[in-house]
Chain A
Amino acid sequence: GESVGLHLPTLSVQEGDNSIINCAYSNSASDYFIWYKQESGKGPQFIIDIRSNMDKRQGQRVTVLLNKTVKHLSLQIAATQPGDSAVYFCAENDYKLSFGAGTTVTVRA
């Protein structure tokens, strides 16, 4: 079936370095994509979204890139901080689809 999925289950990053989390999707008709962050013991929180008429969108220390040709989405976190340690999920606009397992980001001091 159609779904979104993350490339790597875990990512270890040195504090201060940039992080890149990747995601692939299969539904070429999807026109809205969202990244969520889930900290331990909490529900997922919205980080940033992007619509299919855009290739790039920037927020505070985060950038989302969308490549519709290869159906690939990435989240870049600049100057990663200990508070960025969490599980990151990508999702597409059809909420009836389940999320993937997420990428667990661990920040090394």
Chain B
Amino acid sequence: EADIYQTPRYLVIGTGKKITLECSQTMGHDKMYWYQQDPGMELHLIHYSYGVNSTEKGDLSSESTVSRIRTEHFPLTLESARPSHTSQYLCASSGGPGTSPLHFGNGTRLTVT
């Protein structure tokens, strides 16, 4: 079972609305990531964090922002949603010394109408 939780699972929202996608993990991992994935397509890293108060942009430009105030929580916010933001957003974490695999949540499928 996943130790990383994303809510909501599905979200349909109108253009211009502000939204926050939640991501929490109970594993005490320092590193957390947000990926964007369109159906049948590759995952693109949009944000990552290596610890509290640390956030960086990934290789795919995104209008979203993130925060990391607590180790376990890494929310993603869109100030003004647009149809081009329609996608699946996957949160992941990793921990332990050195390299270790990512643990993914089951994603939030966002549709902006």
B101 interfacial contact with A, CB 8 Å: yes
Contacts of B94 in A (CB 8 A): 95
22 A-B pairs in the complex with CB atoms less than 8 angstroms apart:
A31-B99, A34-B101, A36-B101, A43-B2, A43-B106, A44-B90, A46-B103, A51-B99, A89-B43, A93-B99, A95-B31, A95-B33, A96-B45, A96-B48, A98-B42, A98-B58, A98-B59, A98-B60, A101-B40, A101-B41, A101-B42, A102-B42
Please judge, given known A-B contacts A96-B48, A101-B42, whether A43 and B99 are in contact too, CB under 8 Å.
no
Which residues of B line the A interface, CB within 8 A?
A: 2, 31, 33, 35, 40-45, 48, 58-60, 90, 92, 94, 99, 101-107
Which residues of A line the B interface, CB within 8 A?
A: 31-32, 34, 36, 41-46, 49, 51, 87, 89, 91, 93, 95-102, 104
- Candidates B40, B41, B48; contact of A95 at CB < 8 Å: B48
Chain A residue with minimal CB distance to B42? A101
Q: In the bound complex, do residue A49 and residue B101 qualify as a contact, i.e. CB atoms below 8 Å apart?
A: yes
Contacts of B105 in A (CB 8 A): 43
